[in-house]
Chain A
Amino acid sequence: MRNKFLILLSCLLISGHSYAGPKIENWKTANGANVFYVNAPGLPIVDLRIVFDAGSARDGDKAGLSGLTNSLLDEGTGTLNADQVAEQFESLGAQFGAASLRDMAMVSIRSLSDNIILDKALDLFSKVVANPTLPEKSFQRNRKAMLVGLQVASKRPNAIVKKAFYKKVFNAHPYAIDGSGTEESLNNMTRQDALNFHKRYYVANNATIAIVGEVSRARAEMLAEKVSSGLAKGEKAPELTKVSALSTGVVNRIEHKSQQTHILVGQPGMHRGDPDYMTLYVGNHVFGGSGLVSRLSDSIREQRGLAYSVYSYFSPMRENGPFMMGMQTKNSQADDALAILNKELKEYVEKGPSEDELKRSKQNITGGFALRVDSNKKITEYIAMIGFYGLPLDYLDTFNARVEAVTVEKIKDAFKRRIHPDKLVTVTVGGK
């Protein structure tokens, strides 16, 4: 009876959906910043985000510098101090944001599209991004706050496991650097380091600007000029070195006083624009990327009740980011759970998904395409990513067709070439 119901529903789906994504326009500002724009009328909002190739992969021997610099942007510009910057943004109702990841350092603003408000908000935004004072007092305060952050993280099993995992997967590659820094690196950092970092990386040739909202193309061009004209032309960040594949498996067991053991297992995965991207993405969707209906969730959570959260994902970056499987379970079950995780991966690499599993994943991904771009916020994130990584402008338009082109054979082939169950990094953090 229940199968009948299911079949009935799946019949409805075969047609699938094909949608065009939002229309993305692209140009360069006078001083070389790359602009990506989507006109999104409907709400009187403008979102603008600048992404610099200035994430923690650029920290060098000063782990945490990217994040610290990024956190200081709104601490003052020109004659304005941090209080005044905050008051000006907030009395306009504008929301300023800044964040630093491994590849990207981002600065964003959301404002009402009203001309007067938007102009004022972006005037200040431009100054904050291009000419921050990075005052000594703020530098020291945020540096110390990061040290406190390290102390807090030192007791969090999820933070410990992630740091150790990246270290073992990426070794000498800059992706091994943890953006939260180390006690040593933070103790040796000076304001001059932040000034230098800003001067080198927060430059037009190293910038991608995303603009989404109720704003015409002509006005978007003006806005892009406004927020970039203060930036030095500068140079693009140099290319990162390639990530080396692992030559052997590594097991790192870290003792920690906690009830659960946190487990991460993985290896270097793939990069943005990777020829295997879609095949690995769809393949992983079946395996551990589709939440409660994935194979891993079925095996670990549904069948055995071993974990609340179990997943796998590829984190594609400029260079090969990690592939990882993760879960947490009470200490006494950790070894068993780990064995199952490894068994599932091995089996999947050998046999791939079934036709039915692949069909379901495709239906989920293509049928849910509209949900990926159903808000200005999501569109902003997408076009910033597309722009930053130099993906084709029709990336979203062709998305579903590329999903449909994936086959069981392609997944088996790609997983066999890219995932090596005998060369995995395994990190566990927990007690006995």
Chain B
Amino acid sequence: MRLVPILLLSVALAGSFATSLQAKHREGVSDVRQYMLDNGMKILVKEDHRAPVVVSQVWYKVGSSYEHNGITGISHVLEHMMFKGTKTLGPNEFSKIIAANGGRENAFTGKDYTAYFQRLHKDRLEVSMRLEADRMRNLSLREEDFVKEVNVVKEERRLRTEDKPTSLTYEQFIATAFQSSPYHHPIIGWMDDLDNMELDDLQQWYERWYSPSNATLVIIGDVKADHVYRMAKKHFGPIPGSKIKPLKPQRETKQRGERRIKVRAQAEVPYLLMGYKVPVLMTAKDATEVYALEVMAGILDGGSSARFAKELVRGTQIAVSVGAGYNMYDRIDNLFLFDGRPATGHSVEKLEKAVREQIMLLQTTLATQNELDRIKAQVVAAKVYELDSVFYQGMQIGTLETVGLNHKQLDEYVSRVRAVTPEQVQAVAKKYLIDERLTVAVLEPENKKQEEKQVSAVKGVEDAK
């Protein structure tokens, strides 16, 4: 896959709290062992002996939010190029060796991270370590490979964005909501930047960010932690660390009123996106607010019994689908998102009005104990269910560490969510779900333009009056 992250997709396609809960919690990380190499590389190991397998992930602190205009998408293109060989390996040979060792592998790029992973039989862990250590320092960036691979990435962009009306809408929406914040950039990059990317840009990007002092190794599976540490020390230890120049904060400039855009694309059904700027765990002065926002997402969209499904899908039947989503583990301030599609016979305006009514309800009336109890039960269970996937646990640990949090904060999740009160939910709804923080985007089906033109022609006359 070499994919642009799940986050982007899942958020764009409507968050469900049930899944986002799973995305955010795991069982006692007290059993995660932490090591640090002299060169600054962090190593986190969790033993899980249920099956004779291991997952290995190398996380780099670099992603689209580290980029600036003109080179957007470079982190993701570099991720692709990381499979193109080193001083000792030819193009794609990395993948061939992993495959011949029974492994599955891939990589993903997000706003705040670039990560590479292998899933293997536990006996093969050293193969992946040797190869990852090699490409951390010895990547060969060759023009002939780059020319082909950047075309692959452009095809990826066409597939994921250009020909997907909801993705196009999401991309424009995000770029409207964020002006000075680097969350403005699409992870995959603007097509024009991909068209003008040069090998030398990649070389510089690689040298700047790919270093043990900017990386975290996460290993989960049927292994012994100390053994993993010794192995990691052997392979990654000799790579010299480097001084990573810290990023400028690039805080988002103050929004001075609601923003609203239309996106016309090849579509049949309209689509609504709304986002309010909110703090995340990394930026919040008071973490209580972050957990209250999390619970708020659960009240609205934490499953089939939550308000959106109950009121807007089954009740008034205004929406075919409607979601609320919030990711508290981003690196910098992000959006509390709403999205949805109106049911037949209802306009997107009506859907927006219905969502706003739900928001107002949160601001004026306290959530019930019943709702909070249900969310708490879901949280407790989801925490256990997550343990069924070693990969997922790795994702969580890696994400937290890479955005600048501590993986131990995963441990607090359940108790912090359980401590949230109805009053706290009301308070964050009042403080953050306000027009000065809001951006709205509407996908307008292109082939419906004809009808609309007629309508607006009539309207135009009315306006003239």
Contacts and interface: CB of A to CB of B under 8 A. Distances in A.
Given A43-B387, A148-B343, A9 B121 contact: no
A82 B314 contact: yes
B408 to A, nearest CB: 22
Contact of A110 (B150, B151, B317, B385): B385
A92 interface: yes
A262 B461 CA distance: 44
A2 B93 contact: yes
A90 B303 contact: yes
Contact of B102 (A138, A303, A366): A366
Interface in B273-318: 302-305, 309-310, 313-314, 317
A152 B268 contact: yes
Nearest to B148: A305
A293 B95 contact: yes
A112 B121 contact: no
B389 A375 contact: yes
A260 B88 contact: no
A141 B316 CA distance: 11
Interface residues of B, number: 76
Contacts of B381: 92-95, 111-112
Contact of A367 (B124, B150, B165): B124
Contacts of A91: 305, 373-374, 377
Contact of A6 (B93, B163, B303): B93
A210 B455 CA distance: 56
Interface of B: 1-2, 18, 50-53, 83, 85, 88-93, 95-97, 99-104, 119-121, 124, 127, 147-156, 158-159, 162-165, 266-269, 302-305, 309-310, 313-314, 317, 320-321, 341, 343-344, 373-374, 377-378, 380-382, 384-385, 387-390
Interface residues of A, number: 79
Given A148-B341, A260-B158, A93 B377 contact: yes
Given A9-B101, A293-B96, A360-B99, A308 B343 contact: no
Nearest to A16: B102
A240 B91 CA distance: 47
Contacts of B104: 291, 368, 371
Contacts of B155: 260, 305-308, 328-330
A391 B284 CA distance: 55
Contacts, number: 213
A308 B374 CA distance: 42
A302 B93 contact: no
A290 B103 CA distance: 11
A13 interface: yes
Contact of B149 (A92, A305, A329): A305
Nearest to B18: A95
A244 to B, nearest CB: 33
A284 B127 CA distance: 26
Contacts of A154: 268
Given A148-B320, A257-B266, A370-B51, A141 B314 contact: yes
Contact of B97 (A6, A45, A307): A6
Contacts of A149: 320
A363 B303 contact: no
B116 to A, nearest CB: 13
23 contacts: A10-B100, A17-B121, A82-B314, A87-B374, A95-B18, A141-B343, A155-B165, A156-B164, A259-B158, A291-B95, A291-B104, A293-B92, A302-B91, A305-B151, A305-B155, A308-B155, A360-B99, A363-B101, A367-B103, A368-B102, A368-B103, A371-B53, A377-B389
